[in-house]
């Protein structure tokens, strides 16, 4: 979700933070001054140093042209590649996508493009319909699933694939997704059904075939693989919450199904070739009328609803519930209106059907999406798998993106069998690894260590938790935020994507920013600076002071002995986001230069081919100076830097000392700005071909800052991309569209070299 609202203007429906638990703020342990002895390289292989030491690496294949040229074979000349060999690009406010010299891009697909042969081309003037058969809006996380010539899964195909892509949300103001409607749509309740029926299906997931048959990647409009999952598509509940009382609704009286997936943000790719998609800010699409607390008898469901951001009387983001009496609109009213004891005659439990990691088999459109309830329910971002070791459990790392929320780890009961990578019933493999196991939440300690605390119904901290009496493990899964409160998890600066370094198994988490990080806890929604979230500072944007941690940081974790099932770890901060001119001792701790400085890291992925760590931003703090961007980094190791001591003056005049652990400062060769996006966009989602020579990147919500009132005056749109790039209808006056771009290197080399 966009950050434009976080710093400082509009109030988001979510990301606001509903964590009022009194988990330890670490003031009592901040004074500890434990030695870092034994910290460096503890238990973790040092392969990354050999791989990413800045040495030149020759490509295995010397071919540097498209493989459809068929002239006389010549001896391939192996170009010498240096990771991050490109020249870093400057910050930019231009309404265009900027890449380093030697790189070029095309647009693969954009909001509204047709996904079936019979759907007309997108006119982009507000008149288009049939969004069930078009790409959705706000392209977000995506993954590449290779296809061989016969249409079977392939892990090596570089010219044909399925891309599964999240469509997170839509550019909106005052209820309406205004670029979708001719005159901007209706900004008051009730919303017309004709508008709602366009807005709902632009959310969800798209699967699309892409092919390089014509020399460059295009999407295949009439492919039989193309598929849309929308917020109304029937989906299955799996894991401990399947059939539980908490999931019973008028739609699913046995609690085994629900409709759709919503606000899909980050992604993950399973080792068995399916997509994982995180449901993030789903809560705000629902509404509860005033009086619902009393109707529920102020039972524990009210505690849960508030913890997940739905107090009674809160308005919904789009007012979809107002479009009519049909069930597809009524389901957005999360209220006890019926007389049943179990909720099978209303939608009082509807919110419990959202907030999961969902699994989709991109190769088989006949199979329904499965919600993996065992992995917990929160504002999910990406889901990153540990490296797979035969005979060892799999770990899946996950973040909860709201202010002062937690980091989680799932550990499967089943141990990895390599044969599962090639199974044909892929969702059955998902059942094997993602239904049975243990869910943990992270506690970061002031000495640079951490603990994974199990969220089990047998954990005494949960059984003793009177704020919310847990009934069973399903209740723990559905209310994992509450369970995290109960065990004293560490409140983080908005965990976004996570990714696992393929070279050494270390886990990286972007912590995008946090305006509710303080020196003094002035309200229950504020967290106090601690070792893992150590910065409080003021950043100026125009005439506005932005306080807390406006620029975010990237934390990384090394499991003890590299074990996926470890319950202890070590951590440090890979990079602190900052403006290059900010104070080097308190803010720009990583010493970022003008070619490296960034704010609000969000998307994060390690390229399988090169091992480069790609960092994408969704920023509202530094956008007076630059549009959002993507940077390339060479990862090091947890513990390769040094301890940093910070000191703050509290309101009572006393000093608060905070130690943190900063990774080794980047050099000009280890961190470079690679891409800057078009105006008022965010950069999110990235995947590549197995040879690393083609990269797909999503440009989400260009022109998001456009005012709905200006819909009739294109000169006031804050972006016209990609129309102004020559893609689709509208040209220089086009309505902006979220889009997927295809990046290649003009010499045919790998991306990031
Ligand atoms: Fe959808 Fe937290 O970004
Ligand atoms: Ca974000
Ligand atoms: Ca600034
Ligand atoms: Ca995100």
CA of 618 to the centre of ligand 2 (A): 5
Which ligand is closest to the CA of 603, given by its number?
4
CA of 464 to the centre of ligand 4 (A): 35
The atom of ligand 1 lying closest to the CA of 168 is 1
Query: Does ligand 1 come within 6 angstroms of the Cβ of 279?
Result: no
How far is 307 from 290, CA to CA, in rounded Å?
A: 17
pLDDT digits 0-9 by tens, 589-633? 999 999 999 999 999 999 999 999 999 999 999 999 999 999 999
Q: Could you say which DSSP state residue 306 is in?
A: H
The Cα-based distances of 125 to 711, 716, 735, 736 in angstroms read 10, 15, 7, 11
Which ligand is closest to the CA of 619, given by its number?
2
pLDDT recorded at residue 63: 33
Query: Does ligand 1 come within 6 angstroms of the Cβ of 1?
Result: yes
- Provide the whole-model pTM: 0.92
How far is 454 from 464, CA to CA, in rounded Å?
A: 15
Q: Which one, of 223, 203, 200, 199, lies nearest residue 211 by Cα?
A: 223
CA of 2 to the centre of ligand 2 (A): 5
Evaluate if residue 637 carries a pLDDT over 60. Answer: yes
pLDDT digits 0-9 by tens, 312-346? 999 999 999 999 999 999 999 999 999 999 999 99
pLDDT recorded at residue 52: 32
Query: Does ligand 1 come within 6 angstroms of the Cβ of 496?
Result: yes
Query: Does ligand 1 come within 6 angstroms of the Cβ of 265?
Result: yes
CA of 541 to the centre of ligand 3 (A): 4
The atom of ligand 1 lying closest to the CA of 140 is 1
CA of 55 to the centre of ligand 2 (A): 34
CA of 168 to the centre of ligand 1 (A): 8
Which ligand is closest to the CA of 138, given by its number?
1
Give every CB contact of residue 234 below 8 A, 6+ residues apart in sequence.
257, 259, 368
The atom of ligand 1 lying closest to the CA of 169 is 1
Q: Closest Cα to atom 1, ligand 1: which residue?
A: 1
Q: Is 244 helix (H, G, I), strand (E, B) or coil?
A: coil
CA of 265 to the centre of ligand 4 (A): 6
How far is 141 from 738, CA to CA, in rounded Å?
A: 13
pLDDT recorded at residue 37: 29
690 close to 156: Cβ distance less than 8 angstroms: yes
Region 387-411: mean pLDDT is: 98
CA of 401 to the centre of ligand 4 (A): 8
Evaluate if residue 42 carries a pLDDT over 50. Answer: no
pLDDT recorded at residue 10: 41
Query: Does ligand 1 come within 6 angstroms of the Cβ of 682?
Result: no
Q: What average pLDDT is seen over the chain?
A: 92
pLDDT recorded at residue 302: 98
Which ligand is closest to the CA of 626, given by its number?
3
CA of 21 to the centre of ligand 4 (A): 24
pLDDT recorded at residue 28: 33
Report DSSP letters for 400-464, one per residue.
E-SEEE-EEEEEEEEEB-GGGGG-S-HHHHHHHHHSSEEEEEEEE-TTSEEEEEE--TT-HHHHT
How far is 488 from 564, CA to CA, in rounded Å?
A: 22
The atom of ligand 1 lying closest to the CA of 379 is 2
Q: Closest Cα to atom 3, ligand 1: which residue?
A: 1
Scored b (16 or more CB within 10 A) or e, 76-114 reads eeebebebbbbebbebbeebbbbbbeebebbbbbbbbbb
pLDDT recorded at residue 404: 98
The number of beta carbons lying within 10 Å of the beta carbon of residue 49 is 14
The atom of ligand 1 lying closest to the CA of 265 is 1
Query: Does ligand 1 come within 6 angstroms of the Cβ of 401?
Result: yes
What phi and psi values does residue 572 have, to the nearest 5 degrees? -150, 180
Evaluate if residue 392 carries a pLDDT over 60. Answer: yes
689 close to 161: Cβ distance less than 8 angstroms: yes
pLDDT digits 0-9 by tens, 184-227? 999 999 999 999 999 999 999 999 999 998 899 999 999 999 99
The atom of ligand 1 lying closest to the CA of 280 is 1
The atom of ligand 1 lying closest to the CA of 1 is 1
pLDDT digits 0-9 by tens, 486-524? 999 999 999 999 999 999 999 999 999 999 999 998 888
Region 106-133: mean pLDDT is: 98
């Amino acid at each position: 979700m966009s950050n434009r609202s976080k710093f400082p203007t509009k109030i988001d429906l979510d990301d606001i933070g509903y964590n009022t638990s009194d988990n330890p703020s670490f003031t009592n342990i901040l004074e500890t001054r434990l030695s870092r002895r034994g910290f460096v390289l503890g238990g973790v292989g040092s392969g990354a140093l050999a791989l990413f030491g800045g040495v030149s690496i020759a490509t295995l294949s010397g071919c540097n042209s498209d493989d459809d040229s068929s002239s006389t074979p010549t001896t391939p000349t192996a170009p010498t590649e240096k990771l991050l060999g490109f020249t870093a690009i400057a910050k930019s406010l231009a309404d265009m996508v900027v890449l380093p010299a030697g790189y070029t891009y095309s647009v693969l697909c954009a909001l509204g493009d047709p996904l079936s042969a019979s759907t007309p081309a997108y006119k982009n003037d507000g008149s288009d319909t049939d969004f069930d058969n078009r790409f959705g809006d706000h392209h977000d996380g995506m993954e590449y699933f290779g296809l061989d010539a016969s249409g079977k899964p392939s892990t090596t195909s570089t010219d044909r694939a399925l891309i599964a892509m999240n469509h997170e949300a839509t550019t909106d103001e005052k209820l309406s997704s205004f670029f979708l409607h001719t005159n901007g749509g209706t900004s008051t309740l009730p919303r017309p059904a004709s508008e709602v029926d366009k807005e709902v299906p632009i959310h969800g997931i798209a699967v699309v075939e892409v092919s390089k048959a014509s020399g460059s990647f295009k999407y295949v409009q009439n492919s039989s693989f193309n598929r849309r999952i929308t917020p109304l598509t029937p989906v299955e509940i799996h894991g401990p919450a399947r059939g539980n009382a908490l999931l019973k609704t008028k739609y699913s009286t046995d609690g085994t199904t629900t409709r759709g997936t919503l606000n899909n943000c980050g992604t993950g790719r399973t080792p068995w070739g399916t997509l994982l998609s995180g449901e993030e800010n789903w809560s705000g699409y629902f509404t509860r009328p005033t009086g619902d607390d009393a109707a529920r008898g102020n039972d524990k469901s009210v505690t849960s609803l508030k913890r997940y951001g739905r107090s009674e009387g809160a308005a919904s983001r789009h007012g979809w519930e107002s479009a009519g009496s049909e069930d597809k609109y009524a389901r957005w009213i999360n209220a006890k209106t019926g007389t049943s004891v179990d909720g099978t005659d209303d939608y009082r439990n509807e919110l419990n059907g959202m907030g999961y990691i969902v699994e989709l088999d991109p190769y088989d459109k006949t199979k329904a999406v499965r919600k993996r309830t065992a992995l917990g329910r929160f504002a999910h971002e990406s889901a990153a798998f540990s490296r797979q070791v035969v005979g060892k459990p799999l770990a899946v790392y996950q973040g909860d993106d709201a202010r002062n929320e937690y980091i989680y780890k799932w550990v499967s009961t089943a141990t990895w069998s390599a044969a599962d990578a090639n199974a044909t019933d892929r969702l059955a493999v998902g059942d094997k690894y993602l239904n049975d196991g243990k869910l943990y939440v992270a506690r970061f300690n002031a000495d640079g260590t951490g603990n994974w605390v199990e969220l089990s119904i047998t954990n005494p901290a949960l059984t003793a938790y009177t704020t919310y009496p847990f009934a069973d493990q399903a209740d723990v899964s559905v209310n994992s935020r509450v369970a995290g409160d109960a065990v004293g998890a560490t409140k983080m600066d908005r965990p976004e994507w996570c990714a696992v370094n393929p070279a050494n198994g270390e886990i990286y988490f972007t912590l995008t920013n946090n305006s509710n990080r303080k020196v003094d806890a002035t309200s229950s929604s504020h967290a106090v600076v601690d070792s893992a979230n150590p910065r409080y500072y003021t950043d100026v944007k125009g005439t506005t002071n932005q306080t807390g941690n406006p620029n975010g940081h990237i934390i990384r974790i090394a499991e003890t002995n590299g074990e996926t099932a470890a319950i202890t770890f070590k951590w440090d901060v890979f990079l602190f986001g900052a403006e290059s001119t900010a104070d080097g001792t308190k803010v720009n701790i990583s010493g970022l230069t003008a070619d490296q400085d960034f704010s609000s890291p969000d998307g994060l992925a390690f390229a399988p081919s090169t091992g480069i760590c790609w960092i994408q931003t969704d920023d509202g703090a530094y956008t007076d100076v630059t549009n959002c961007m993507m940077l390339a980094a060479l990862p090091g190791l947890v513990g390769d830097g040094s301890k940093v001591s910070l000191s703050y003056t509290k309101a009572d005049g006393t000093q608060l000392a905070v130690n943190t652990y900063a990774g080794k400062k980047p050099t000009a060769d280890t961190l470079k700005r690679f891409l800057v996006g078009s105006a008022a966009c965010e950069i999110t989602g990235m995947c590549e071909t197995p040879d690393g020579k083609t990269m797909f990147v999503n440009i989400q919500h260009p022109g998001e800052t456009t005012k709905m009132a200006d819909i009739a005056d294109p000169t006031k749109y804050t972006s016209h991309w990609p129309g102004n790039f020559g893609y689709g209808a509208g040209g220089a006056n086009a309505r902006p569209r979220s889009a997927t771009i295809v990046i290649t290197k003009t010499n045919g080399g790998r991306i990031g070299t």
